[in-house]
Amino acid sequence: MRGGGFILLTLALLRGASSLRREVDAATGSSLEECEFAKILIIGAGPTGLGAATRAYQLLGKGKEGFLLVDMTDRPGGLSRTERTPEGFLFDMGGHVLFSHFQYFDDVIDAAFAKSGDEFYYHQRQSHVRMRQRWVPYPFQNNLAALPVDLQEKAILGLVEAAVESATNSTKPVTFDEWIMRKMGSGIADIFMRPYNYKVWAHTTKQMQCKWLGDRVSTVDVQRAISNVLHNRTEAGWGPNAMFRFPKRGGTGRIWEAVADMLPKENQRYLFRANSIDAEEKTVHFDGGKCVKYDSLISTMPLDILLKDFLGRPELTTNLSYSSSHIIGLGIRGNHSHGNKCWQYFPEDDCPFYRNTIFSNYASGNIPPANASLPTIAMAGGGRSAP
């Protein structure tokens, strides 16, 4: 997916790139001599930019010419920020939960919350796949016992085929589809992995490489999978996010606001929109006639926009693909019917979405108090409510 938190690019390596430096409005009186200077200029205050700024602060200190973090919005968080409605519902910009294998990352988050006085809830993941009008515990491939018999048979036969293929094929899989067929077989591929991942990425598994997987996707123990089916057992505890933590207040965005609060205010600029980059002169121009010169530049803006609109290199984007997501938040009166479920997957083509999140189960602060009065916007019959 195209997103600010996914791309790091040091433009010091692009000194020979073409620039699209715009003419500076003469009325502003801006010139190179009036530019600020930062040894490291970081564009984008999402998780990636905040991580880079935190490390730069540790290495360079808060001196005015050390580092500068800028963002075009009014606060930190990027695509991991949290929005609040007038009624008091909180909605993350996507389905985010916090888990990590890296001590440095954990230490930064812990230090940020220790300073801010915030606290976490700790949750055991409860997630399911909707399949044939039933809920199958996640990971799907470890819980075939919850499927109807015909799908159990198809999945198990595919697992056996995959085991034989893995034992006789010494080459490494290249595409995501090859990885799925080698690890899970055609049954699970057709029932779940192919349709679900197409919904997520808007590209087929044959169009994707598999180096990114790591431990994000559970492999299958064939003997255990068959035994689970015969004994009607489910196993839901696999994965790096089997346990996760979530802020008691402020949603996921509160995490990144707390990280930003550990950085000097004078080293941060918000509502500061870049409009051109001169890589040869190592200068970034911003709306309002402002500019910043740098020794090194880290950009977390979408890579295609950076290359096409800022560096004049559209030919480098020819083979880049991305997908976009529509995030829809629903706040309702009353109690939902999903128990303690955290999130749910929808691979089948009977609905347009691929996942939902029961955000009120993450933290009580994500919804208005129980005694809050909510306005009626429209009546069930379609009429408008009285003002």
pTM of the complete model: 0.84
Q: Across residues 333-341, what is the average pLDDT?
A: 85
pLDDT tens figures, 216-258: 777 788 888 889 899 998 886 666 678 889 999 999 999 999 9
* Residue 286 backbone phi and psi in degrees, to 5: -120, 160
* Enclosing H/E stretch for 200: helix 194-201
Domain segments of the chain as ranges? 4-120+244-317, 126-240+330-366
Digit-coded pLDDT (tens) for 31-80 = 445 899 999 999 999 999 999 999 999 999 877 679 999 999 999 999 99
- pLDDT at residue 47, as a whole number: 96
> 176-183 and 149-168 are packed helices; what angle lies between their axes, rounded to 10 degrees?
100
Question: Distance between CA 94 and CA 51 in Å, rounded?
Answer: 20
| Res 6 pLDDT > 50 | no
Task: State which of 260-274, 325-339, 361-375 shows the largest mean pLDDT.
Answer: 260-274
**pLDDT higher for 98 or 24?**
98
Measured distance CA(135)–CA(147) in Å, rounded? 9
Candidate ranges 18-22, 259-263, 381-385; pick with highest mean pLDDT: 259-263
Q: Is the pLDDT of residue 361 over 90?
A: yes
d(CA 179, CA 124): 28
Q: Are strands 36-43 and 67-70 parallel, antiparallel or unpaired?
A: parallel
Q: How many whole angstroms separate alpha carbon 77 and alpha carbon 93?
A: 10
pLDDT of residue 322: 86
User: CA 281 to CA 17: how far, in whole Å?
Assistant: 11
* pLDDT on residue 41: 97
Token reading at 320: 């880049």
Phi, psi dihedrals of residue 345, rounded to the nearest 5°? -110, 145
| Interval 127-137 mean pLDDT | 94
Share above pLDDT 90 across residues of the chain, in percent, rounded to a whole number: 64
For residue 375, what pLDDT is reported? 80
Is the pLDDT at 19 greater than 60, yes or no? no
Rounded-to-10 torsion of CA 305, 307, 312, 315: -110
What sign does the dihedral 105-329-350-138 (CA atoms) show? Answer: positive
pLDDT of residue 29: 43
Mean of pLDDT values over 3-8: 34
pLDDT digits (tens, 9 = 90+) for 204-214: 999 999 998 87
What value does the mean pLDDT take over residues 290-315? 95
Overall average pLDDT of the 150-158 stretch? 96
356: which strand partners?
A: 344
Q: What is Dmax (Cα atoms) for the chain?
A: 78
Minimum mean pLDDT among 236-245, 273-282, 346-355, 365-374: which range?
Answer: 236-245
Cβ-contact 343, 95 below 8 angstroms: yes
> Which listed CATH number (3.40.50.720, 3.40.47.10, 3.40.1670.10, 3.50.50.60) goes with 4-120+244-317?
3.50.50.60
What's the mean pLDDT in 18-31?
Answer: 40
Cα separation, 212 vs 179, in Å, equals: 11
Measured distance CA(382)–CA(387) in Å, rounded: 15
Query: Residue 190: what pLDDT?
Result: 97
Contact 24, 285 (CB under 8 A): yes
Element (H, E) at 285: strand 283-286
Poorest-confidence range of 19-23, 181-185, 289-293?
19-23
Q: Rounded mean pLDDT of the chain?
A: 86
